[in-house]
Homo-oligomer: A and B are copies of this chain.
């Protein structure tokens, strides 16, 4: 049986927490404060993998925190080869949404699971393509007025009001929410951290 404190999610994201809780995984949350800057010469894949590892290891390195398996994750939105982070102003959110209107972009989520007992770290990155409808100025202004875009990479949340823009995706849906659930569960099972439905939900 996995104890609640055995798994630690090193992320403040309520979306990641909700996904893991929904399928009965028990864990504690300890947000990481690892820095998130981009490094020169790094590919987007390398970027999210590095941040995911950094977040998992930053929390695992705090020995006053109980736990064995530490999950770090990072999600970015890519328009062509430009990383769109969290907008810093409503005007920047509007510019991001205008630049995503009527076209496809990519969402990359990296994740890393560090086993403090064995020292092993397994990490991967998953890509999903997302297609937006053509957005009107009224839709962009109205969506920004809801406040939802301001703390989201790429200025939207697919699991929120932002769903009105998403014509279709290709790949993992949970990856766009912020955590590629099938892939994370597979790694947690390979590391012996969970077995889905071993107990009734």
Instruction: Name A's B-contacting residues (CB within 8 A).
Output: 19, 22-24, 128, 133, 138-139, 141-143, 145-146, 158, 160-161, 163-174, 181-182, 185, 195-198, 200-201
Contacts and interface: CB of A to CB of B under 8 A. Distances in A.
B172 A138 contact: no
Q: A-B pairs with the 10 shortest C-beta distances?
A: A142-B197, A23-B164, A168-B171, A168-B172, A167-B182, A146-B201, A170-B170, A133-B182, A173-B173, A138-B197
A198 B128 CA distance: 31
Contact of A174 (B19, B24, B163, B182): B163
Given A145-B200, A158-B173, A200-B145, A22 B163 contact: yes
A201 to B, nearest CB: 5
Contacts of A145: 197, 200-201
Contact of A19 (B138, B163, B165, B185): B163
Contacts of A138: 195-198
